[in-house]
Structure 1
Amino acid sequence: MKNALITGATKGIGRAITIAFAKQGINVAICSRNREELSAFEAELKEINPQIVVAAIVADCSKREELKYFAEFTEKKLGFVEIIVNNVGMYRYSTILNDSDDSFQKQVDTNLMPAYELYRFFGKSMVSVGKGHIFNICSVAAINPIAEAGVYSVTKYALLGLNKVMRLEMQEHGVKVTAIIPGSTLTDSWKGQQVDETKMVNPEDIASAIITILNMSAGANVDEMIIKPAPGQL
């Protein structure tokens, strides 16, 4: 059985990916700041596939020490982690000039730092075994910045850059690195806004893409995948 760690696993894209992994028979490590939400999702995953191991712990991935504790907990519970999905993120709708003083650090700590730290924590063990796959959930804002979400665009641009460096470092060691770049996706980021759900990417579409990529031959890697609404961005 393969083992996967997913950040931001209890909602939106992360939730859909975690459920898809469970259906594939992949053991999963998840965390949440909310104990009740975490326990409910853990029970749901075990119901979906009673054969898998679900390693669940309360942790805030935007806090470096809690993130490292989550990584250590995962390794202790599951052993070698072959798949990492860096999904946790926050979206703040604001121009840089009008943003709050703490916005930059909060979004760096949420959208960028976890991917960097988990790479450093698990990367060497992946190299030693000669296998593994890291998925970084970026955003089309990394390619086409949104002025009205300035810091978000900057951090997602940085995450895409980190993905490129990871891939170059890892490609000679048999470890794959993929940037998933979603466009307008139906998640809580759109809560309170009037949207046409039929014209958006679903979280399950992202999960389906990741499963397809995982099932490719050992010699194939998807460097970057852009998934946008068929009618165009909202």
Structure 2
Amino acid sequence: MNAVITGATKGMGRTIAVKLAQAGFNLILCSRSQHEIDDFCQELIAANPQIIASGLKTDCSNPAEVKRFANFVQQQFETVHVLINNVGVFHPASILDEEEDVLATQMQVNFNTAYVLCRAFGRKMREHKAGHIINICSVAALNPVVAAGSYSVTKAALLSLTKVLREELMEHKVKVTAIHPGSTLTNSWEGTSIPPDRFIAAEDVAETVLACLRMSPGANPDEIVIRPLEGNL
């Protein structure tokens, strides 16, 4: 089985990649550092010699690089069984007070990247009558965060894309899932004094992804919400 993961060398993406490699998935990854990708792929292969792992440096804020990554994947894998749109950027600010390019930047990374990759690989999945697209959305897609207004807008757009694709691909036996994590302990919280048990662990999201992929052929997990036990931060 072949899987593609965006934003895969840090945080949730890295943990998802480790979990899928352990489950025997071949992987193609992207992040903004080729050195980090190469080192991580070597680490994954060393721990899981039965898999293939490679990747391409991709700045997802650059549409041309996203398309280049899609082409790279198609050259490496004849079939993509799983697409995990994980890459994301978060700029906390209210809509009325943020800089003018904040929405555009987050829309490109958080939404447009997924849109391009869903089209590129969703068409192939439709042809093959099989596949699974998992979009890592956010609880902000369900309940807007005023202090992160544009981020909430982009994640709501990603959720809408997920729902449309779910309906569009249903008859072709392609699964589409939205996972909505709340506050998750990743590198973005580095240095915080907040206790770890106030967060979701990245491992929780990775386990959820794998659980989705292991469901029976007739089951589609439409949306899964994961919140910290004591509420979001």
Instruction: Compute the TM-score of the two structures, normalised by the length of structure 2.
Output: 0.97
Q: Distance in 2 between matches of 1:48 and 1:61?
A: 28
Q: Structure 1 residue 61: deviation in Å?
A: 2.0
Q: Distance in 2 between matches of 1:185 and 1:202?
A: 6
Q: Distance in 2 between matches of 1:193 and 1:109?
A: 28
Kept after mapping to 1: 8 A contact 2:6/2:84:
yes
Kept after mapping to 2: 8 A contact 1:55/1:74:
no
Q: Structure 1 residue 13: deviation in Å?
A: 0.6
1:31 match: 30
2:86 match: 87
Kept after mapping to 2: 8 A contact 1:91/1:152:
yes
The aligned runs of 1:47-86 (5 Å cut-off) are 47-86=46-85
Kept after mapping to 1: 8 A contact 2:38/2:54:
no
Letter in 2 for 1:147: V
Kept after mapping to 2: 8 A contact 1:178/1:221:
yes
Further displaced range: 67-76 or 175-184? 67-76
Letter in 2 for 1:119: C
Q: Distance in 2 between matches of 1:69 and 1:141?
A: 30
Q: Structure 1 residue 188: deviation in Å?
A: 2.4
Further displaced range: 184-193 or 97-106? 184-193
The DSSP-based 3-state class of the residue aligned with 2:13 is helix
1:148 match: 147
Kept after mapping to 2: 8 A contact 1:89/1:110:
yes
Q: Structure 1 residue 191: deviation in Å?
A: 3.2
Aligned-pair RMSD on alpha carbons? 1.1
Kept after mapping to 1: 8 A contact 2:37/2:54:
no
Q: Distance in 2 between matches of 1:122 and 1:6?
A: 12
The DSSP-based 3-state class of the residue aligned with 2:134 is strand
Q: Structure 1 residue 63: deviation in Å?
A: 1.5
2:132 match: 133
Q: Distance in 1 between matches of 2:82 and 2:131?
A: 6
Letter in 2 for 1:154: V
Q: Moved runs in structure 1, 4+ residues, more than 6 A?
A: none
The aligned runs of 1:98-137 (5 Å cut-off) are 98-137=97-136
Q: Distance in 2 between matches of 1:34 and 1:125?
A: 28
Pair 1:230 & 2:226 matched: no
Letter in 1 for 2:21: A
CA deviation string 1:183-225 (max 9, x = no partner): 1100123234432111211111111011111111100010000
Q: Distance in 2 between matches of 1:217 and 1:80?
A: 20
Kept after mapping to 2: 8 A contact 1:135/1:177:
yes
Stretches of structure 1 lacking an aligned partner (at least 5 in a row): none
Stretches of structure 2 lacking an aligned partner (at least 5 in a row): none
Kept after mapping to 2: 8 A contact 1:13/1:203:
yes
Number of residues of Structure 1 aligned to a counterpart in Structure 2: 233
CA deviation string 1:112-135 (max 9, x = no partner): 001100111111110111000000
The DSSP-based 3-state class of the residue aligned with 1:112 is helix
1:186 match: 185
Q: Distance in 1 between matches of 2:157 and 2:191?
A: 28
CA deviation string 1:83-138 (max 9, x = no partner): 00000000111111111111111000010001100111111110111000000000
Q: Distance in 1 between matches of 2:74 and 2:52?
A: 13
